[in-house]
Amino acid sequence: KSPTRQSRNMIDTEAEAPSTGAGETSSAAAAVVVVGAGFGGLEAAKHLGKAGIGVTLIDRRNHHLFQPLLYQVATASLATSEIAWPIRYLLRGRKEVTTLFANVSGVDAAGKRVLLDDGDALPYDTLVLATGARHAYFGHDEWEPFAPGLKTLEDATTLRRRILVAFERAERETDPAKRAALLTFVIIGAGPTGVEMAGTIADLAKDTLPPDFRNIDTHKTRVVLVEAGPRVLAGFPEDLSAYAQ
């Protein structure tokens, strides 16, 4: 069932988890503590709760994100509210599950406590870490300001702004070389997200934007997909990989 418009508006993509009193420790241990409300964490919380097990779900954001569609937000095809839903809304029917908005800073395995960045601690009997993954720069984190990844809503809106602003700047640019550079987009990694991003930027330039500009021909947009491996979509069967390429 899709969330209502009001529930979607309760998503806050900017807020940090609040402090709740440094040094305090919850008095009652939950049977299970799940860290992370992505696909794995949410499913674990739902199924454990359904089995009658008390669960505390902790996430540093107040929304669950459908990551496979982030590329569509990044290319202005979808709004952020269409791929993110409040965690509390998704779990409102699971009375066994308690949701906490907090940042986890560490785990005290010996003491069976989840440590929060405000100094609080949450005891557990069983701990599930479902924090997901983030993009990597192979030891070159200085590349990140120039080449953002695509794992969060903030990443998607940053990319969307950069893509659309590039077309706007190209519209005003009189130097042909600089204009061509503004209309060139390089994507590193030809997995599903990279391939989808490349194809959607190409569609944006060839189908959506041409009527909107007067000084540039968006058909001349160049999309470069860089992959270190021998083929795109390496995790898929070779015939599908060849079709995509």
Residues identified as active-site? 196
**Pairing, β 222-226 against β 184-188:** parallel
Question: DSSP labels for 180-234?
Answer: HHHTEEEEE--SHHHHHHHHHHHHIIIIISGGG-SS--GGG-EEEEE-SSSSSST
Please list, in sequence order, all residues whose beta carbon lies within 8 angstroms of the beta carbon of residue 174, skipping any fewer than 6 positions away: none
Contact (CB, 8 A) for 130 and 36:
yes
Burial of 159 (C-beta count, 10 Å sphere; 0-12/13-18/19+): buried
**Rounded distance, CA 167 to CA 210, Å?**
11
Which single residue is written with the structure tokens 């100094």?
119
Residue 237: CB atoms within 10 A of its CB come to 9
